[in-house]
Structure 1
Amino acid sequence: MADESLFDRLGGFYGIAGAVDVLVDRLYSNASANANPAVDKFHTEGGHAGFKFLVTAWSIEETGGPKCYPGRDMRESHAHLNVSEQDFDTVRLEIAATLSYVGVPKQEHDEFMAIIDSYRDMVVDPDKRIAAE
């Protein structure tokens, strides 16, 4: 098991797709996540099922599964959303809560959250970053 990828330890395609199914439903109904007008517009006008597919494919690749993500890189795909630090933290919290809700063990939870954290600088709008103290 020590040599298994995070992808395998999260249950492969089915485990990741199941978690993303829960996550995206939670994000679409989260008032705080939709407080950003650009995100709210995306959730209102964008395809719910398509977003689930993209998040699932991205998660599969990022955790060591096969290359299957057809979307844009994180910087490009979030540039028009004007994501603030608070917006990122809201989604981050929802991801963490979803991982707990679906029963992801602590080690895998922490590894996946480290992946999420590594994307903060690519997702948060440079004009909305909080300077490190």
Structure 2
Amino acid sequence: MSKSLFDRLGGSDGIASIVDDAIENHMNNPKINARFLPYKERPEHLASIKQHSIDFFNAGSGGPAVYSGRDMITAHTGMNINPEEYMHVIDDIFMALDKNAIDEDTKKDVLAILWSLKGMIIAK
């Protein structure tokens, strides 16, 4: 029996590390960091966003977490995220996956999930 996506991402600890690294990449990415840097001044809000992201990927990959955040459309409405920004987010996530030594097949599965979400996030 093959491992679940949750297990291939390193379980809860692996997903937490990937999310931390991805958000750090967003903060350092000049194409999208204007959307993320303000959270540094609101550490409690940043911690909440990180936890929602961890829970979302944990639950969505077959893990035990329960995601209690807003749905993707509600969370991104009014942000007017364009396709270029979305691609930068994906690139940053893939840099985090690489940093955490995630294999190519698992990265393809993550990409499929990220691609399936784009219509709920772009231009909302």
| TM-score range relative to shorter protein | 0.7 to 0.9
Partner of 1:43: 39
Q: 1:109 to 1:40 in 2, by over 3 A?
A: closer
* Conservation of the 8 A alpha-carbon contact between 2:18 and 2:93: no
Partner of 1:117: 115
Aligned residues: 122
* Conservation of the 8 A alpha-carbon contact between 1:99 and 1:109: yes
* Conservation of the 8 A alpha-carbon contact between 2:97 and 2:107: yes
Instruction: Give the Cα separation in 1 of the matches to 2:89 and 2:112.
Output: 14
What's the RMSD between the two structures over aligned residues? 1.8
Taking CA–CA contacts closer than 8 Å with sequence separation of 6 or more, which of the two structures ends up with the larger relative contact order?
2
- The one-letter amino acid of 1:77's match is A
Shift of 1:25: 1.4
* Conservation of the 8 A alpha-carbon contact between 1:54 and 1:70: yes
Q: 1:80 to 1:100 in 2, by over 3 A?
A: same
Q: Structure 1 vs Structure 2: percent identity of aligned residues?
A: 30
Query: Structure 1 segments of 4 or more deviating over 4 A?
Result: none
Structure 2 length-normalised TM: 0.88
Gaps of 5+ in 2: none
Instruction: Give the Cα separation in 2 of the matches to 1:86 and 1:20.
Output: 20
Please give the residue correspondences for 1:88-127 in structure 2 after superposition, counting only pairs within 5 Å: 88-125=86-123
Shift of 1:42: 5.7
Shift of 1:41: 7.3
Q: 1:23 to 1:80 in 2, by over 3 A?
A: same
* Conservation of the 8 A alpha-carbon contact between 1:28 and 1:43: no
Q: 1:40 to 1:100 in 2, by over 3 A?
A: closer
Q: 1:79 to 1:69 in 2, by over 3 A?
A: same
Partner of 2:6: 7
Instruction: Give the Cα separation in 2 of the matches to 1:41 and 1:103.
Output: 26
Instruction: Give the Cα separation in 2 of the matches to 1:95 and 1:32.
Output: 14
